[in-house]
Structure 1
Amino acid sequence: MLRTIRYGLPADCDALYELEERCFDSDRFSRRQLAHLLTRANAANLLAIAEDQRVIGYGTLLFRRNSTTARLYSFCVDPAARGIGLGRELLQALENAARERGSQRMLLEVRADNRVAMGLYRRMGFIAHRWLDDYYADGCAAWQMDKRLEPPEPPEPPDMSAAD
């Protein structure tokens, strides 16, 4: 399944809403909330787009002024597109977007009963450091996890050894 990752646009609101419906049983965003994230929030929304142009995953980063921490506010992969490395690819793209905005750390909350997501985050270098009782609407607890973002590698200098 070929895919691309791009920034979200206001026109993607309905597709994100439908993806939320497929991915989450509760604590879903409304269309209005998604529209705000796509247009007015201090956020970066990255979408994974399948070859047939369907949105098959997305992640939203929130940024605060004068902070070097980016918060992964929402992250999901279509159930039909799981198990092919899309989550890892999308999370890496989100980390890169956070670095580009000057973030040195990423923070997230994950349902304590979501072992698949926790496994992905751990494999990507996130560390669980804080337990949050009764975090979700259904009473489920969460783990707060974070990761230090290393600065991007500087570009290699041009090879100046060639003589004119």
Structure 2
Amino acid sequence: MELRGFTSGYDGLVASWAVDASEVELLSGRPEYPFPAELTASWRKADPDIESYLLFDGERPVGYGEVWLDEEEDEVELARIIVDPAVRGRGIGLELVRALLEPAGKAGFSEVFLRVRPENAVAIATYQRSGFVDVPAGLMDEWNADQPVAYRWMRYAGD
């Protein structure tokens, strides 16, 4: 498997990996289905501090994720992680998260975080296996104060 920078031409493919409205909402906050490909393209254009990646198995893309760089907070956030539904359940998500930790670490910031919907048990288990732990409850409450939903916030603690 190889992590590569996201390039134009894969927007529609990644959008197709969200198999229903709930998955679209997990990725974008918008309960639309099918996923609008132009929304995927807008993610990369919205902020120069967002690095988008695809995980390839040979020449086949099997996963997508982003690394959000926050110089002001001295932190990185992993975001919008999704795996091709045709290969789910095979450890690709774990491999993708671990691969995203490489550019996250190279960014040189002190912390790596992610947020996940509390009902997304499969993702939470993957993140825990990748070395993420919950942030303290008080901090989670503080960070959720301005969020549209109450996320489960996790910090990378290492393997």
With structure 2 as the length reference, what TM-score do the two structures score? 0.74
Partner SS for 1:84: coil
Q: CA-to-partner distance for each residue in 1:21-77, whole Å, 9 max, x for gaps? A: 468152444433322333452212121234463x32111111123443111121111
Q: Aligned-pair distance for 1:121?
A: 1.0
Q: Does 1:144 align with 2:145?
A: no
Unaligned runs of 5+ in 1: 151-164
State the partner residue of 1:153.
none
**Sequence identity of aligned pairs in percent?**
24
State the partner residue of 1:15.
13
Larger Rg: 1
In 2, the alpha carbon distance for the partners of 1:148 and 1:126 equals 6
Conserved? CA contact 1:105–1:149, under 8 Å: no
State the partner residue of 1:123.
129
Q: 5 Å matches for 1:1-164?
A: 3-21=1-19, 24-29=23-28, 30-39=36-45, 41=47, 42-51=49-58, 53=60, 55-129=61-135, 130=140, 132=144, 141-148=150-157
Q: CA-to-partner distance for each residue in 1:113-138, whole Å, 9 max, x for gaps? A: 111111111121211122548956xx
Partner SS for 1:20: coil
Q: CA-to-partner distance for each residue in 1:65-112, whole Å, 9 max, x for gaps? A: 344311112111122212222111111111101111213321111111
Higher helix share: 2
In 1, the alpha carbon distance for the partners of 2:109 and 2:19 equals 30
